[in-house]
Structure 1
Amino acid sequence: MPRSLLAAIALLAALCAGVCGAQTSPPAPAATTGSGVWYEIFVRAFADSNGDGIGDLNGVTARLDYLQSLGVDGLWLLPIHPSPSYHGYDVTDYESINPQYGSEEDFQRLLAEAHRRGMRVIIDFVANHTSSRHPWFQAARDTSDPHHAWYVWAGPGTDLKARSATGGPAWHALDGQHYLGVFTAEMPDLNYDTPAVRTKMIRIGRHWLEQGVDGYRLDAAQHIYFDFAAQRGDPNVAVANVRWWREFRDGIEPARPHAYLVGEATEATLAQLPAHLGPLDAIFDFPLATRLLESVKQERDRGILAQAVPVAAAYAAAGRPAGDATFLSNHDQTRVMTQLRGHAGHARVATALLMTLPGEPYVYYGEELGLEGRKPDPDLREPMRWNRRTDAPGESRWKRLTANTSPQVSVEAEEADPNSLLNRYRLLIHWRAELPALRHGDLVAFDSGDPQLVAFVRAAEGTRLLVVHNLSGHSKRMTLDPSRGFSRLLRQTAADTGLADGTLTLPPYASAILE
């Protein structure tokens, strides 16, 4: 292994030990016998059950058989609480269901049906801020009200021109005062130095776990105490964040022991990731997503294993082999197919990389169809395409389509095409379910001798698999040393893949697994 990777592993281990050392880390969630793949759903855009054009919880329930056939065994629902916005990240009531999405009974039905199929369900937990229309914030405008201390207000000497950690203005004027809103003025930050806030948010966390939710995706997990651009890189901020999430973990434990917590921490470098791990089960791996897509677009390995190997080793050393929450894109980013400029071969090999690397992969709804979209944000969250006709029953019509107008980019069209992107996703997700080494095996780099081939070994339970991906649009050959023992072609995405006389032949954008 290159010295740089060894150094990175040592650094990750040291950071994790430093942050988590004296704490008891939560056990990893029970190992799944399925694929370990999660599916991210924006309910408003997914499926409409009552004909009002807005996706709803019953629409999700009606599509569980599709998701089961795809092979996913976990669902992440973007915010489902009442909110004045279309996206729901400015919550006005944390303990209710958005009436546009249905009732609490509808949510219970969804949970029951998902669990009956062996699927976990997590929901977005938006802890950093509320809506400016939340009753707490409305009460907080009165400086004599106890809720005033639930938010962060400027004091004498405050730099009112300070930039927030997300790049915009940090302070916003109201009633002769200024309050902190790291994201927007409509999203005032809660003050976690106020004990009542911490107590209330733990109670909310316990509430939904008691209703049957399996855990949470922690929105803006790094921003509880990371408020200002000037704080970037300050280790005390990460320590304060972890301290809060440890308190949250301990507080919700009685409601559901070992509830699954995955955090959004948009760190850009390898070394910064595990500082957030502490009480969490997993962290979204933004750096890996960047390297995967850059490599696929350029048809050359741009450090995929330099990112993946040390991260996987650090998580394994921490007892968290599924701690790397991998993905290609999400609801805040340009969709994969748009980033890849509609290149079907690139999309297929990107998916194959995602599904054969360690961790638990997340698929953004419609990614398996090749849905497109670029900012502004609503265009990243266009309706899921179930049918060739956009006016067919069950289609969400929450917004006008800007990119996904083709009838061929739909479940109806792609189900019938064995060579569709949908069926490629299905194939690869099922590989992950069928081969335990792909889910929780060790990861070891394998020198392919060609920068357009990405090769690595996944090893678990006495099984060693060699995984090879051809990033290029040309057929490639890779000579194998007989002493390494990989002599059997176990899986391949292209029928004309060959293994003869110690030479593996991979067609363009194809992937293979050898045993």
Structure 2
Amino acid sequence: MDLEGAWTSSETYRLQQDAEALLLEGDAHVGLVLHHTDASHRQLSHSLMKTTMADLSRISRVVLPLLLGAVLVWSGCDDPAPEPDTSEAPDWHHGVTYQVFVHPFADGSGDGIGDFDGLIQKLDYIDDMGFESIWLLPIHPSPSYHKYDVTNYWEVHPDYGTMDDFERLLDEAHDRDIRVVLDLVINHTARDHPWFQQAVADTTSDFFDFYIWEDEETVASFADEEAGPDTDNIDFWHEVQDVDEVQEGLDKRYFGYFWGGMPDLNFDNPAVRDSVIAIGEYWLEKGVDGFRLDAAKHIYPDERAEDAHAWWEEFRAEMEAVDEDVLLVGEVWDGPEVIAPFFSGLHSLFNFHLSEEIFDAFRTREGANIAERLVDMRAMYADVNPNFVDATFLTNHDQPRIMSELDDMDDMRLAAHLLFTLPGAPYVYYGEEIGMYGEKPDPNIREPMLWAPEEEDDLRTTWIDPEYSTDETVTPVSEQLDDEGSLLNLYRDLIALRSEHEALARGEIEAVSVESPALSVYERTSDTQTLLVAHNMDTEAHELTLPNELADTYTAIAYASDDEIELDTDGTTLPPASTVILATE
């Protein structure tokens, strides 16, 4: 076999895809074809003709390790990985993103489960709202409804449609200038993934080292673990069970941060890293615009955070080599001091701490800390990467919905004003814009989207009987569209307001100290514009009295949430749960 020369990552993913097919296809003609980058070199092909599943499994145990070993040799011949581009992010990275869980969103096929066809039918709605991109929760084959345990990274879940349907979604979204961001779950696979099934069936297989193993005695010596904010699991080492075949005598335990059904991948293994890079390249080449990277913090354990940072730098460079405008937004559910170093590799990270600060302000009815602490956070991030993009949000698919947390429409409207006037790239969880409710357990924060009254709602999913968001508790989209004062129209107006004012969309923030602790006051400054924003977090009216130099500077109202707000240099009265934006002229 001639191994001279280099192999591209895209060819590596084709090899990996065919390798997975060995375990997925069953009785079928399965071809393994390795395409060399130099056309003058011989094309090596190995065809496996019709065979039984038992024979296929036996053959695969011989062939796959050889193929994976070859991948390592060839990938070792590759040129050094490119460096990540930390220059100014593309404009769309700073836009407003709509978080869509396809499963409950819109049912185009009538089977009760959301799908690509239903989502396509609602792209005009998403576009009209002003969202510039959509983040799709996982769409890959999976044994669970949420699909955060993937069994095949190269396909889409049949519940959602075919690959042709997904490609049509990409085309339709791009026709409307809407970018599509996929949730990429690479910290772990499903226990049902062929990699793991092969690993436990044959510990001499190269797939065994795709996962993290320890002897039972070693595991017993570990100190008790504590659950993090992103999991309730405290038992991280799992006995092998619920698999098709286990090698006799296998007494090791595998690491699974979230639970035993999600074994963590071993990123110390170059074959794992190459496979993940190839997966990313595959979807970018298909037309996807970026990835939300699930559990980005957990690629390595906390004590090896620097290795995690280095991995994401490598991954970013490889993805930017395919698409220089790609967006990588990471989930690091922790404080800003832990989040900040990840900006060396990731364009954007979710600001969980800001979400907590906003909730604290509603609990205490004091708003001064929001801007002050955000200024400190942004300074930490800028020290790592001056061109960071702060991904801001109120709540997401893992948290009780904000409407349930606040349980007050005036507060909900004020929360929206905070989200769209603070710096960052805002994310809106589907249904937030119509005031959907939802509390734990997780399925109840992922209830069906309400498009119209139930008897008229042809696209409403029925995958779960809703407990919180029903026709009795939530006004559906169709009726809110016709109500000028609805929460939905407020979201649309605020997204438009943000896009119309560069200071709101891209400006920096400076906290402003005022006498009333109930007020959250800050300046937003861009190259071309300066605005002053003030929110009253209280249930009572408060006076906004600015320092003299600011009172002389901000002499006009650019926006007011309440018609009763009038600018007064001696003190502007802000009604309860209200917002005013002041301009220089």
Query: Would you say 1:159 and 2:219 are equivalent positions?
Result: yes
- The equivalent of 1:509 in structure 2 is 577
- The equivalent of 1:121 in structure 2 is 180
- The equivalent of 1:248 in structure 2 is 315
Query: Would you say 1:406 and 2:471 are equivalent positions?
Result: yes
Assess if the C-alpha contact under 8 Å between 1:332 and 1:377 holds in 2: yes
| Amino acid of the structure 2 residue aligned with 1:220 | A
- The equivalent of 1:4 in structure 2 is none
Assess if the C-alpha contact under 8 Å between 2:503 and 2:528 holds in 1: no
Assess if the C-alpha contact under 8 Å between 2:118 and 2:459 holds in 1: yes
Q: Indicate how the Cα distance of structure 1 residues 462 and 502 shifts in structure 2: closer, same or farther if over 3 A, else same.
A: farther
- The equivalent of 1:499 in structure 2 is 567
Aligned pair partner of 1:304 in 370, 381, 395: 370
- The equivalent of 1:7 in structure 2 is none
Aligned pair partner of 1:222 in 297, 303, 327: 297
Q: Indicate how the Cα distance of structure 1 residues 250 and 270 shifts in structure 2: closer, same or farther if over 3 A, else same.
A: closer
Largest Rg, 1 or 2: 2
Aligned pair partner of 1:361 in 426, 438, 453: 426
Q: Whole-Å Cα distance in 2 between the matches of residues 23 and 47 of structure 1?
A: 40
Which residues of 2 match residues 444-483 of structure 1 at below 5 A?
444-483=510-549
Q: Whole-Å Cα distance in 1 between the matches of residues 124 and 146 of structure 2?
A: 26
Query: Would you say 1:265 and 2:324 are equivalent positions?
Result: no
The root-mean-square deviation of aligned C-alpha atoms, in Å, is 2.0
Q: Indicate how the Cα distance of structure 1 residues 139 and 24 shifts in structure 2: closer, same or farther if over 3 A, else same.
A: closer
TM-superposed CA distance for 1:302, in Å, is 6.3
- The equivalent of 1:387 in structure 2 is 452
Aligned pair partner of 1:193 in 261, 268, 273: 268
TM-superposed CA distance for 1:376, in Å, is 0.8
- The equivalent of 2:395 in structure 1 is 329
CA offsets, 1:154-175, max 9 Å, x none?
1375224653764421111125
Assess if the C-alpha contact under 8 Å between 2:368 and 2:519 holds in 1: no
Query: Would you say 1:206 and 2:281 are equivalent positions?
Result: yes
Query: Would you say 1:181 and 2:256 are equivalent positions?
Result: yes
Assess if the C-alpha contact under 8 Å between 1:448 and 1:455 holds in 2: yes
CA offsets, 1:3-51, max 9 Å, x none?
xxxxxxxxxxxxxxxxxxx97553343124x971111111001001111
TM-superposed CA distance for 1:301, in Å, is 2.0
CA offsets, 1:177-201, max 9 Å, x none?
3111111110011111111111111
| TM superposition score normalised by structure 1 | 0.90
Q: Which has the higher helix share?
A: 2
Identity value in percent: 40
TM-superposed CA distance for 1:482, in Å, is 5.0
Q: Whole-Å Cα distance in 1 between the matches of residues 260 and 279 of structure 2?
A: 24
| TM superposition score normalised by structure 2 | 0.79
Q: Indicate how the Cα distance of structure 1 residues 441 and 159 shifts in structure 2: closer, same or farther if over 3 A, else same.
A: same
Q: Whole-Å Cα distance in 2 between the matches of residues 103 and 405 of structure 1?
A: 30
Q: Whole-Å Cα distance in 2 between the matches of residues 391 and 91 of structure 1?
A: 35
Q: Whole-Å Cα distance in 1 between the matches of residues 214 and 383 of structure 2?
A: 43
CA offsets, 1:185-236, max 9 Å, x none?
100111111111111110001000001111100000000112xxxx5xx3xx
TM-superposed CA distance for 1:421, in Å, is 1.4
- The equivalent of 2:157 in structure 1 is 98
- The equivalent of 1:109 in structure 2 is 168
TM-superposed CA distance for 1:381, in Å, is 0.5
Greater alpha carbon shift after TM alignment, 498-507 vs 121-130 = 498-507
Query: Would you say 1:171 and 2:237 are equivalent positions?
Result: yes
Query: Would you say 1:29 and 2:89 are equivalent positions?
Result: yes
Q: Whole-Å Cα distance in 1 between the matches of residues 174 and 88 of structure 2?
A: 19
Q: Unaligned regions of 5+ residues in structure 1, if any?
A: 1-21
DSSP-derived class of the 1:250 partner? helix
Assess if the C-alpha contact under 8 Å between 1:35 and 1:72 holds in 2: no
- The equivalent of 1:489 in structure 2 is 557
Q: Indicate how the Cα distance of structure 1 residues 212 and 318 shifts in structure 2: closer, same or farther if over 3 A, else same.
A: same
- The equivalent of 1:14 in structure 2 is none
Greater alpha carbon shift after TM alignment, 403-412 vs 125-134 = 403-412
Q: Whole-Å Cα distance in 2 between the matches of residues 333 and 144 of structure 1?
A: 41
Paired residues, number? 483
Q: Whole-Å Cα distance in 2 between the matches of residues 195 and 480 of structure 1?
A: 58
- The equivalent of 2:340 in structure 1 is 274
DSSP-derived class of the 1:75 partner? strand
CA offsets, 1:231-250, max 9 Å, x none?
5xx3xx21011111112122
Assess if the C-alpha contact under 8 Å between 2:97 and 2:427 holds in 1: yes
Q: Indicate how the Cα distance of structure 1 residues 195 and 319 shifts in structure 2: closer, same or farther if over 3 A, else same.
A: closer
Greater alpha carbon shift after TM alignment, 505-514 vs 161-170 = 161-170
Q: Whole-Å Cα distance in 2 between the matches of residues 487 and 503 of structure 1?
A: 12
Assess if the C-alpha contact under 8 Å between 1:35 and 1:71 holds in 2: no
Q: Unaligned regions of 5+ residues in structure 2, if any?
A: 1-81, 241-245
Assess if the C-alpha contact under 8 Å between 1:312 and 1:443 holds in 2: no
DSSP-derived class of the 2:363 partner? helix
TM-superposed CA distance for 1:492, in Å, is 1.2
Aligned pair partner of 2:194 in 135, 146, 152: 135
Q: Whole-Å Cα distance in 1 between the matches of residues 238 and 456 of structure 2?
A: 43
TM-superposed CA distance for 1:398, in Å, is 1.1
| Amino acid of the structure 2 residue aligned with 1:171 | W
TM-superposed CA distance for 1:318, in Å, is 5.1
DSSP-derived class of the 1:154 partner? strand
TM-superposed CA distance for 1:365, in Å, is 0.5
Q: Whole-Å Cα distance in 2 between the matches of residues 240 and 318 of structure 1?
A: 16
Q: Which has the higher contact order (CA 8 A, sep 6+)?
A: 1
CA offsets, 1:357-380, max 9 Å, x none?
111011111011111111111111
Q: Whole-Å Cα distance in 2 between the matches of residues 112 and 68 of structure 1?
A: 14
Q: Indicate how the Cα distance of structure 1 residues 317 and 271 shifts in structure 2: closer, same or farther if over 3 A, else same.
A: closer
Which residues of 2 match residues 62-77 of structure 1 at below 5 A?
62-77=121-136
Q: Whole-Å Cα distance in 1 between the matches of residues 580 and 460 of structure 2?
A: 36
Aligned pair partner of 1:286 in 352, 377, 385: 352
